[in-house]
Structure 1
Amino acid sequence: MSFKRKSLAALAAGVAITAAGLLPASATGSAPAPLAAGKAAPYLYLGWGNPPDPATVMNATGIKTFTMAFILSSGGCAPAWDGTRPLAGGADANAISQIRAAGGDVVPSIGGWSGNKLGPNCATPEALAGAYQQVIDAYQLTAIDIDIENTDEFENATVQDRILNALKIVKQRNAGMQTIVTIPTTTTGPNSWGNRLIEQANALQAGIDVFTLMPFDFGSSNIYNDTVNATTALKDKLKATFGWSDAEAFAHSGISGMNGLSDQRELTSVEAWTQIRDWAKTNGLGRLSFWSVNRDRGCPDGGVTSHCSGIAQPDWEFTRITAGL
């Protein structure tokens, strides 16, 4: 997987983006329960200017859940939105209140491509679990997404294991808490680091509910085929590792795409995303997301930007399609 999330300072300045989004299931083959906070949960990011009003998007599309990005370190093992905005009393907390008042819910995403992450800064699994718990307690959450990318977390065996062990602790402390990990992928499925994470999740009995791939930035000429191939390979890896059936492995699998033009200017059209949604629905995937609702607005030939998809489309169309899961 190539680049997805550049520095937040660069993003805020409006330059081209690089994007960005059960009880423990053991090898016994038990299937997961449906994701409590909603299987369809596109990313919403308040760190860019002119973010969409979530209630407006909900009313226009039927979407009920947003993946809110990103929780980072505000120094050491202390969580904050983008590492700067407080958990309580800020724009993010206000947006969460608005979403819930409109009948929806949120899944905070912890991590991302860049910024100061909690995984490397919290010295032990217990400390990292404590940071996650602060986020959970701040919003009375039922699910969290840990977005594991880059060399500081994804390509670091010590930090990978710290994250998995922390999530195991979180599930022990929070009955019914559902955990998602979101990782890069190749067109043929998880790479060696992704396979390691899956194998360690089993070995450590971390109880991860959904393993979500980010199938884009391939330079793809057919994003639908590449997404299906990558996700099918993920399903096969989960099936072999945990001993699940095809249906159970798909239920533990997720897709997090990038609407319109990706960083490499590959195209995910409205038609292709509809195909991906339909395939995910047919196969019973546990999660469907995309980066991002901020970009779910039309701008033909607009390029890769933070405020629109770079293509001609009705506003909020990718969100509406996603809601159909």
Structure 2
Amino acid sequence: MARARKAAAQDAVERAQAPESDGGRRLSVWRVIGAALVAAVVVSAGAVGFQWWSAKAAVDVRPWFASYVDVTATPRFAFENLGSTDTKDAVLSFVVSSKQDPCEPSWGAAYTLDEARGSLDLDRRIARLQQQGGTVAVSFGGQRNDELAVGCTDESALKKAYASVVDRYKVGTIDLDLEGSGLSDSGAAERRAAAIASLQQERRTTGKSLAVWLTLPVAPTGMTSDATDAIAAMLKAKVDIAGVNVMTMDFGDAKKAKTSMAKTAESAVSAAQRQLGVLYDRAGLHQSDPSLWAKLGATPMIGQNDVEAEVFTLQDAAAFNSWAVSTGLGRMSMWSANRDKTCGSNYVDLSVVSDACSGVNQGKKTFAATLAKGFAGHIALGEGAVTTAEPTTAAAKDDPKTSPYPIWADKNSYLKGTKVVWHHNVYQAKWWTKGDVPDNPVLNAWETPWELVGPVLPGETPIPQPTLPAGTYPTWSGTTPYDKGQRVLFDGVPFEAKWWTQGDSPEAASADPDSSPWAPLTQDEIDQILGGSGR
């Protein structure tokens, strides 16, 4: 997402917009929807009524807000911390084909699902967000890599790939971000639609819902023909589409120079609403005007866009939000939570898009809080999600047999990055520590050397922890002189001397690493030692 939108804008379908009806759009939209739902059930028992009713029943009928989160971006964004905010939900992106197997889902073509569990601790972080009342959706596709349907030509294998992601993360909502070949490849569109339709129907027969959103490029004049074809393919395959989310960003030459980003986004969404109505009519599934607005979402790129002249400001966010709420838009998102902060003083050229800041001065405000106003619903929740916190009292006993990491002990020393289990939760050391209880109820995060990662997950077993056998290196002694490069063990932890030293304890290395003559060995160095090549 958020890349190369100029082409989409230039290729936009030039279609006349139907006249706006203030009477149809400015009433209490959700009351109209409620009345329309009743009417649909009473008046029609046919396919149209069922299709509309099932789409509404599959999701939280209230409009919802959720930021996109780039899971594999550097620096890593701690989306689990959104649980402590008012905008708890997140759309995790992007699942794409792995480089080794087009039918194997991966995160950003960098991590398989299992690798993401280990390297990113993704499963546990999702559980942590859910503990705090947040919900996640998973987004497939994006601009940089291949959406699964592009390279996976076996429809059965494709369905299995989608299902493996849905089942692993127990999500109730998926997002299909279609760009590049994922949007233009008609064969991929047909395979994708057939696989999603089959998966959705299969889940319904077992009492599980699956809300499906399509995220598509848009111009001020509407969606491209490729985008409308993607919607048509889904409807033809009888996919019950929860909604269409248009990317109101990077308009390029299609944007009028004197028109604000907010007004341009309003025009784009309005044009998409008219197009969506036509597509449903062609499929024989007529939708009322309020229902069409409820089936639409919008995703602006906050701050500096990829097109240098386009900047979506906080003022644009407030204006667009006000319009969206009054219109009855069903969803609001943004690209991305990773970027929702002012750039630091070391980031010089603000016209160049950063993956970690917005490029505008936000002060104490966030785009998320501004865009989320009036969107009180939540992403449809999947079955089996963690919604309550594990016990954290002293009575909660940890079992080494079901703990992925060693259980914390007050006599042990822990290096920065070490993970432990305490009261059924996983904690990670922010710096060297000994004797600090992981769940000590401090008021400020800087008061504790431990960071809560998330709960111990059901079915977990110990992850093998590499340790150095006693005698691998001499135990540090305060009376022994050490030359540069010599190694010692201190509380079982290996250290290497950076220069000649005597009497300087390695314990101080974590508190003041620059002045300490000792540096702890990295995990890679420890692995090499255990492999016989580093001693």
TM-score bracket relative to the smaller structure: 0.7 to 0.9
1:308 partnered with 2:309: no
More displaced 10-residue stretch of structure 1: 259-268 or 75-84: 75-84
Structure 2 partner of 1:17: none
State the 1:257 CA deviation. 1.2
1:62-105 per-position Cα deviation (integer Å, ceiling 9, x unaligned): 01210101101122201111123232423232321221122101
Could you say what secondary structure the match of 1:180 adopts? strand
Q: Structure 2: how far apart are the matches of 1:198 and 1:57?
A: 32
Q: Structure 2: how far apart are the matches of 1:78 and 1:254?
A: 29
1:157-191 per-position Cα deviation (integer Å, ceiling 9, x unaligned): 11112112221112112232101111111111111
Amino acid at match of 1:69: S
CA change 1:293–1:316 in 2 (3 A) is farther
Structure 2 partner of 1:21: none
Could you say what secondary structure the match of 2:92 adopts? strand
Q: Structure 2: how far apart are the matches of 1:195 and 1:146?
A: 14
1:200 partnered with 2:233: yes
State how 1:73-152 maps to structure 2 within 5 Å.
73-74=97-98, 75-88=101-114, 89-90=117-118, 91=120, 92-150=122-180, 152=181
Structure 2 partner of 1:62: 86
Structure 1 residue corresponding to 2:202, chosen from 173, 176, 183: 173
CA contact (8 A) 1:42 1:322 kept: no
Q: Structure 2: how far apart are the matches of 1:228 and 1:125?
A: 37
CA contact (8 A) 1:142 1:176 kept: yes
CA contact (8 A) 1:57 1:316 kept: no
Q: Structure 2: how far apart are the matches of 1:115 and 1:55?
A: 25
Amino acid at match of 1:320: A
Structure 2 partner of 1:270: 314
Q: Point out which structure has higher relative CO (alpha carbons under 8 A, 6+ apart).
A: 1
Amino acid at match of 1:273: A
Q: Structure 2: how far apart are the matches of 1:213 and 1:291?
A: 12
1:269-305 per-position Cα deviation (integer Å, ceiling 9, x unaligned): 1111122222222222222111111110112862311
Structure 2 partner of 1:14: none
CA contact (8 A) 2:82 2:129 kept: no
1:30 partnered with 2:63: no
Could you say what secondary structure the match of 1:290 adopts? coil
CA change 1:128–1:44 in 2 (3 A) is same
1:37-84 per-position Cα deviation (integer Å, ceiling 9, x unaligned): 97211111131222332243342x401210101101122201111123
Q: Structure 1: how far apart are the matches of 2:102 and 2:148?
A: 8
Could you say what secondary structure the match of 2:174 adopts? strand
Structure 1, unaligned runs of 5 or more: 5-24
Structure 2 residue corresponding to 1:51, chosen from 73, 76, 97: 76
1:293 partnered with 2:337: yes
Structure 2 partner of 1:224: 262
CA contact (8 A) 1:2 1:218 kept: no
Q: Structure 2: how far apart are the matches of 1:129 and 1:322?
A: 34
Superposed CA RMSD in Å reads: 2.3
CA contact (8 A) 2:321 2:372 kept: no
More displaced 10-residue stretch of structure 1: 48-57 or 193-202: 48-57
CA contact (8 A) 2:222 2:269 kept: yes
Could you say what secondary structure the match of 1:320 adopts? helix
CA change 1:86–1:98 in 2 (3 A) is farther
Number of equivalenced pairs: 303
More displaced 10-residue stretch of structure 1: 47-56 or 283-292: 47-56
CA contact (8 A) 2:82 2:88 kept: no
Q: Structure 2: how far apart are the matches of 1:315 and 1:306?
A: 19
CA contact (8 A) 1:26 1:205 kept: no
State the 1:135 CA deviation. 0.3
Q: Structure 1: how far apart are the matches of 2:200 and 2:67?
A: 24
Q: Structure 1: how far apart are the matches of 2:189 and 2:211?
A: 18
Could you say what secondary structure the match of 2:177 adopts? strand
CA contact (8 A) 1:184 1:194 kept: yes
Amino acid at match of 1:210: G
Amino acid at match of 2:77: P
Amino acid at match of 1:271: Q
Could you say what secondary structure the match of 1:99 adopts? helix
1:253 partnered with 2:253: no
More displaced 10-residue stretch of structure 1: 296-305 or 114-123: 296-305
Runs ≥4 residues deviating over 6 A: none
CA change 1:191–1:2 in 2 (3 A) is farther
State the 1:234 CA deviation. 1.4
CA change 1:139–1:129 in 2 (3 A) is same
Q: Which has the larger radius of gyration?
A: 2
1:235 partnered with 2:283: no
More displaced 10-residue stretch of structure 1: 90-99 or 49-58: 49-58
Q: Structure 2: how far apart are the matches of 1:147 and 1:179?
A: 11
State the 1:198 CA deviation. 2.3
Amino acid at match of 2:247: M
Structure 2, unaligned runs of 5 or more: 6-45, 281-285, 376-535
CA change 1:237–1:27 in 2 (3 A) is farther
TM-score for both structures, normalised by structure 2? 0.53
Identity %: 26
CA change 1:55–1:323 in 2 (3 A) is farther
More displaced 10-residue stretch of structure 1: 215-224 or 140-149: 215-224
1:223-272 per-position Cα deviation (integer Å, ceiling 9, x unaligned): 11121111111111222222211101111111111000100020111111
Amino acid at match of 1:245: S
TM-score for both structures, normalised by structure 1? 0.86
